[in-house]
Structure 1
């Protein structure tokens, strides 16, 4: 991995935070004014060029602004991001939201996808190794300007009917042996929807059932807020499946 100076890390972090907040291209002026890094716009521009050459940033053809690349997001997630812990109130609310459905797995998993969609404002999915697929929040695709693109929406809606597509993500999540599996671009999962989308999945495994729960959304997901929700939900589902035996 390319070495980054602390200043480059600070600038990359500021760009990611700004892009996550606005969904827009980020220029040096806004970074200088808003994030008070103690360097001039010219210095920030030079560092942005260096970050682009190292593939941490991407440049749009029609603007001088930059976007974080999948590599940039990966660096941020692995080295900078601090997850926002769920409060006890949130944990209790999550548990209560699916508690009444705990006796029937299919109802519990379906309800879990609905609750996660409501909480995150994103398309939420649950898939298992027995071919079950539940999703909720498709309307969020139509509410988000960046997701409401005819081609992107069409590709995602097509994938919702492809059990094998999500089964492959389940397989890769399991193989990765990571608690959370981040899909930040097509290098992580070779499908054109991830040119424009990102995903986070958590896995669960109990009583011979292996599955994933996660979300699909724009590139600029609020990873530090969404990741702990998915982690908690995946553990909760695993515990509830164990209790069903």
Structure 2
């Protein structure tokens, strides 16, 4: 099932119109390139796409299409590498329209429900349990907040070190500093991201906060005991969104269900 969700697009254009300027071939190349980038964390070149996916066109044609995708703001070149990486614009299109969600296993759904239900009747216990369980199931850093509550919850710091993007200590220091600041997290989850949406995605380079360029954040919003709540997964910009998104949405729905 292809995800159809409302996302925050800083360019002001809706994601529904993003594909209007792209040919079917360009959309195919973009999706495959993003899939490969998420898997390898390396810039992707035309030769890689040609050899791995057998697109039926020459590497030169692939290069030409990639050049068009650069002009349209969907790809960019990193340093002098011959490969290309997706821009935030491309990643949002991918999450919104191109990726196929990987459904949770029944065992993971049952475990998630148990972890959330343990805290029924207490905001702090529910959010603490949810963030720890979410970090464990996604293998990333998780963060949560309740609007006007004055507290944030987070778990899974050690998980991010499995990603090469976080070998840079300046990135880690900036990220950990942000996570520890209630005002910045509330600003991010309830103002910069859209609290009216079921799911929202934002990237570090959009925030204009130092050293957060490699970071990606995906969040879901819900009601919790009459307040607006948010739960997010933080990791590299190339998060495995097809796996993370259904898990995140499921946790959000469980919290809302448990606190009605």
Same-fold status (TM-score > 0.5): yes
Q: For residue 201 of structure 1, give the secondary structure of its aligned residue in structure 2.
A: strand
Q: CA deviation at 1:176?
A: 5.3
Partner of 1:177: 196
Most deviating of 80-89 and 121-130: 80-89
**TM-score, structure 2 as length reference:** 0.87
CA contact (8 A) 1:113 1:126 kept: yes
SS in structure 1 at match of 2:76: strand
Whether the 8 Å contact between 1:141 and 1:148 is mirrored in structure 2 is no
Q: Say if 2:199 and 2:219, in contact at 8 Å, map to a contact too.
A: yes
Judge conservation of contact 2:75–2:87 (CA < 8 Å) in 1: yes
Give the Cα–Cα distance (whole angstroms) in 2 for the partners of residues 121 and 24 of structure 1: 20
Aligned CA distance change for structure 1 residues 108 and 237 (closer, same or farther; 3 Å): same
Corresponding residue for residue 185 of structure 2: 166
Question: Among residues 137, 140, 143, which one is paired with 1:119 in the alignment?
Answer: 137
2:245 is matched with which residue? 227
Q: What is aligned with 2:32?
A: 14
CA–CA distance in 2 between the matches of 1:239 and 1:193?
37
Q: Does residue 31 of structure 1 match 2:49?
A: yes
How far apart, CA to CA, are the structure 2 residues paired with 1:198 and 1:182? 7
Secondary structure, counterpart of 2:120 in structure 1: coil
Q: Which moved more, 1:232-241 or 1:190-199?
A: 190-199
Q: How does 1:211-226 map to 2 (within 5 A)?
A: 211-226=229-244
Could you say which residue in structure 2 is the equivalent of 1:71? Answer: 89
Q: Deviations over 1:35-74 (max 9, x none)?
A: 1111111111111111111110010122111001111112
Q: Which residue of 2 aligns with 1:40?
A: 58
Is the 1:146–1:218 contact (alpha carbons within 8 Å) kept by the matching residues of 2?
Answer: yes
Pair 92,173 (structure 1): closer, same or farther in 2 beyond 3 Å: farther
- Residue 146 of structure 1 aligns to a residue whose secondary structure is helix
1:111-162 CA distances to partner (integer Å, 9 max, x unpaired)? 1111111111111011111112110011123332211211100101111221
DSSP-derived class of the 1:48 partner = helix
Structure 2: how far apart are the matches of 1:144 and 1:239? 33
- The answer as to whether partners of 1:173 and 1:201 remain within 8 angstroms in 2 is no
Distance 1:233 1:79, change over 3 A: same
Q: Cα RMSD over matched residues? A: 1.7
Which residue of the partner structure matches residue 200 of structure 1? Answer: 218
Partner of 1:154: 173
Aligned residues: 241
Higher relative contact order (CA 8 A, sep 6+): 2
If the length of structure 1 is used for normalisation, what is the TM-score?
0.92
Task: Report the Cα offset of residue 210 of structure 1.
Answer: 1.4
Matched, 1:138 2:179: no
Task: Give the secondary structure class of the aligned counterpart of 1:216.
Answer: strand
